[in-house]
Amino acid sequence: MSTTDADETRPVEDPRGDDDAWPNGRQLRSLTRDATDAHTGGSYFEVISEVYSVVFSAAIALAIALGAVQGLNATLTPGPEVHTLDPTWLAVVTTLIVAGAIVGLAGRIGPVGMGGGQAVWWLPTPADRRGLLRPRSVLVPIMGAAVGAAGGLLIGFLALGEPGPALGSIVVLSTLGGAALALAAAAGQVQLGNKRARRVRPAALIGDILMAAGPVLGLAVVFVRPPPLMMPTGTVAVVAIAVLAVLVVALLVRVDTGLNAISGRELRARGAVSAYAAGAVTSMDTRELGRALSGSTAPDQRRRSARMAWVRGPVSAIVTGDALVLSRSPRHLIQIVVAASLALMALLAGWPTWVNVTTLLLGGYLAAMATAESARRAEMAPVLDRFFPISAFDVRRVRIILPGVIMVLWSAGVFAVWGATHGNLPGWIALGVIAAPTFAAGVVRAAYRKPPDWTKPLVTGPMGPVPPGVLLAFARGPDLVVICLIPTLIALIAFGPTFVLVWLQAATSAIAFAIATHVKDEKKPSMMERATEAQKAAGPR
Amino acid sequence: MAKKQTTAPMIRADKVSVGYGSDIASAVCPPITVNMKPGEGLAVVGANGTGKSTFLRAVAGLLDVLGGQIDVFGRPVDERARRFRADVAIVLDEDSYLPALTVREHLLLTARGHGMERVSELVTEIIEEFGLTARQQAAPTALSSGQRRRLLLASAFVRPRRLMVLDEPEQRLDSGMRDRLAERLAAERKSGGGVVMATHDPVLVRVVATRAVLLGEDEVRVVSPEVAAQAIEAM
């Protein structure tokens, strides 16, 4: 018998020794925290200072929002119009949107995950998952409650217009509701556990549906005009609060006892998404945040492949790819419908012209953004634009086709309603159709923008220091829409769709198209390419 | 009348300096001079950080050279041009796909976008060749990293091309797939196509390359495939 064979037959001694000698999850967290503190040298005063800054900024932002909402309540008091939207119903619409945002966000980022170094160093250890994950599971209801409380304040002021006992009930209810929704998403994650994940994460889908239901309900209320809602007070409020409190505690226990069931793969995947999203928030890059949240939510998506027999050449290939990406993304389809509902709701509710114009602009841009997912992905992975025998200039022009077609249909519908309520229906439809490519050009320009530039010196303003490079990055896309829609804005606010304004809009739409399809002569590697290069240079072979 | 065979270089690199800075001082390797004709395979070999991928990026037109000149098919490199994109198939080390499309749809779209005939049969053949048959209805996000690599390589073979630019094509592939890829690339070269690749695989160098550029910190040498393969084995 060879030495090797002898080694193989010898019982392997467990090098770990006694299990009790190993730190549990809580001890491991403590050890890591102590080691980190020893190296970073941060003082408690710095932490207090940062917390103070965040809380103070949030309080000021909330106070400003509350003032605006209170003013909105006074403006929206029902008038003699045929169609109107009572503030109490608008509060319900807002509640659905806030609830959808909480559930959808919680479903996409985890809510319980572990990324970066912690996933690499902690998950392979024998330490119990529950001990490792408990701070994150506690943070989930706290974040949900914080969003719920802020939303409750806004909703309460919107519905009531002034402080009072009913406002207190609404705030407490929405605080508990926010915590319950976030915990419900976490409980769903625990429920999935090690099972093969379904095609779509339920929490993300439910969140999207809730967000879509808000504006659609608002539109329905405008037509039906139901009586104002009674706000919960007295016994009803107390019972509702008690029920929600019990639900929160029950969900908290369910999540806490089920933490060990969440698989390492699931924790890593959710941790990666939250780390990506956190990085995008820190760098104030909304495009990156969208990418982080629109990443695949299912590990094994399968579907029947389309034959694509209609594709002939690069143009139809690119347009077909763009259309498939849009048609297979329920979130983006919902976004288009929600944007139309928003614009129509404001228009039909008899609100002031400036509110209608603002919601039309916002709705149009929101809808157009949903159609440009392929362009945003091509910016991140430029190879997608180089796959086909077509010049870079032409690729950019082709990428506008799908957003352009969708926005022509969207604008025709919304401007038709505008025409029906303001007269001169054909003129408004013509103006809407001609203005539509501007929205498409704006989102394609935004899709191909550079990441925010933080290297430029900060500019001091009344609201504090402002990074100009970041503002310029955010403005790229919306700037084109606002400037090139000036003829339409003048028509909406003052003169209607006159012959001159329609022609002017045609000219500015052409300018928008030309600007959005301009390709600079740049051969610098993308962020992903640079990261890959650095990794390859550093990695061992 | 037989088609006139051209022996003009596919790639002509003349004292090319490459790097990620803005001046010649930031070059990652000494200047590179090499020509590649149709039917040749050129391996770019060297240790980590010697500039293999950087040189390939310059050949692919994704990076401006710091000095010298690169011509591809007799013209200065311009990857934005339709003709360049039609002639050159590029597979670099990056995951590039649309998550909403299946593996088969990616290849169908690529083939049809390049105006290929008998697309369905062609895609089925390529999928089989690259071992993706069982996963052809899956989204790329559901593939392993090796399978995603196969998908990217397959996308280069499902379309017409005169030149292939490949950055470490062997990465994340199992040994069987590496062997099949080497045979495929050798056949590509023998049929008159050009293959330029950065690689750390001595087998790929021996089977595919007809010449190699050996990149070092102090010098760049154009060597035989055998010398390059031995250099890799000694690294």
Query: Which of these, A504, A488, A375, A475, lies nearest to A436 by C-alpha position?
Result: A488
How wide is the angle at C-alpha B231 spanned by C-alphas B227 and B233, nearest 5°?
A: 120
Residues 6+ apart with CB under 8 A from A267: A112, A113, A114, A119, A123, A129, A133
How wide is the angle at C-alpha A329 spanned by C-alphas A323 and A331, nearest 5°?
A: 130
User: What token pair was written down for B113?
Assistant: 């976008």
Percent of chain B with pLDDT over 90: 72
Q: How far is B77 from chain A (nearest CA, A)?
A: 11
A427 three-class SS: helix
Query: Which of these, B7, B40, B39, B44, lies nearest to B28 by C-alpha position?
Result: B44
Pairing of strands B163-167, B88-91: parallel
Residues 6+ apart with CB under 8 A from B100: A324, A325, A328, A329, B139
User: What token pair was written down for B212?
Assistant: 């190699």
What are the structural domain ranges in chain B? Answer: 11-99+156-234
User: What token pair was written down for B234?
Assistant: 């000694």
Nearest-angstrom CA–CA distance, B14 and B35: 8
Query: Which of these, A294, A107, A97, A131, lies nearest to A210 by C-alpha position?
Result: A97
Q: State the CATH class of domain B11-99+156-234.
A: alpha beta
Nearest-angstrom CA–CA distance, A288 and A332: 16
Q: Which helix (H) or strand (E) holds A48?
A: helix A44-75
> What is the 8-class DSSP label of residue A526?
P
Which ranges of A485-526 would DSSP assign to H, the alpha helix? 486-490, 499-516
Q: Most A CBs within 10 Å: which of B16, B54, B59, B82, as the mutation test of the A interface?
A: B82
Q: Does residue A234 or residue B153 have the better pLDDT? A: B153
Assess contact for B100 and A328: CB atoms under 8 A.
yes
Cβ-based contacts of A533 with chain B (< 8 Å): 20, 53-54
Residues 6+ apart with CB under 8 A from A12: none
Beta bridge partners of residue B215, listed in sequence order: B46, B220
Assess contact for A380 and A529: CB atoms under 8 A.
no
Q: Taking the C-alpha atoms of A454, A460, A461 and A464 in order, what is their torsion angle to the nearest 10 degrees?
A: 70
Q: How far is A416 from chain B (nearest CA, A)?
A: 33
Query: Which of these, A442, A453, A447, A418, lies nearest to A432 by C-alpha position?
Result: A418
Nearest to A390 among B20, B82, B112 (CB): B82
| Helix axes A129-160 and A234-258, enclosed angle (nearest 10) | 160
Q: Does residue B100 or residue A463 have the better pLDDT? A: B100
pLDDT in tens, chain A (541 residues): 444 444 445 555 555 555 566 777 778 888 887 777 777 666 677 777 777 777 777 777 777 777 777 777 666 655 555 556 777 888 888 888 888 888 888 888 777 777 777 777 877 777 787 888 888 888 888 988 988 888 888 888 877 777 777 788 888 999 999 999 888 888 887 776 555 555 456 788 888 888 888 888 888 888 777 887 777 777 888 898 999 999 999 999 988 888 887 777 778 888 888 888 888 777 777 777 777 777 654 555 667 888 888 888 999 999 999 999 999 888 888 889 889 988 888 888 777 788 889 999 999 999 999 999 889 888 888 888 888 999 988 999 999 999 999 999 999 999 999 898 888 899 999 999 999 999 999 999 999 988 777 777 777 766 667 777 778 888 888 999 999 999 999 999 988 899 999 999 999 999 999 999 988 765 555 555 555 555 555 544 3
Q: How far is CA A469 from each of CA A445, A473, A474, B152, rounded to the nearest angstrom?
A: 16, 6, 9, 35
User: What token pair was written down for A284?
Assistant: 């104030």
b or e along B186-218 (b: 16 or more beta carbons within 10 Å of the residue's beta carbon)? bebbeeebbbbbbbbbbebbbbbbbbbbbbeee
Residue B58 has pLDDT above 90, yes or no: yes
Residue B1 has pLDDT above 50, yes or no: no
User: What token pair was written down for A415?
Assistant: 């401007």
| Helix axes A264-282 and A165-192, enclosed angle (nearest 10) | 130
Cβ count near A45 (within 10 Å): 8
What are the structural domain ranges in chain A? Answer: 24-295, 314-521
Nearest-angstrom CA–CA distance, A331 and A435: 25
Average pLDDT of B51-72?
Answer: 91
Beta bridge partners of residue B70, listed in sequence order: B13
Cβ-based contacts of B97 with chain A (< 8 Å): 381, 384
Q: Do B115 and A313 touch (CB under 8 A)?
A: yes
Q: Which DSSP string corresponds to A411-423?
A: HHHHHHHHHHHHS
Model pLDDT, residue A3: 44
Q: How far is B180 from chain A (nearest CA, A)?
A: 22
The chain-wide mean pLDDT, for chain B, equals 90
Nearest-angstrom CA–CA distance, A153 and A164: 12
Nearest to B138 among A300, A318, A525 (CB): A300
Nearest to B109 among A299, A311, A532 (CB): A311
> Is B161 part of the contact surface with chain A (CB cutoff 8 Å)?
no
Phi and psi torsions of A44, nearest 5°: -65, -30
Q: Does residue B58 or residue A18 have the better pLDDT? A: B58
In chain B, positions 23-52, which contact chain A (CB-CB < 8 Å)?
A: 48-49
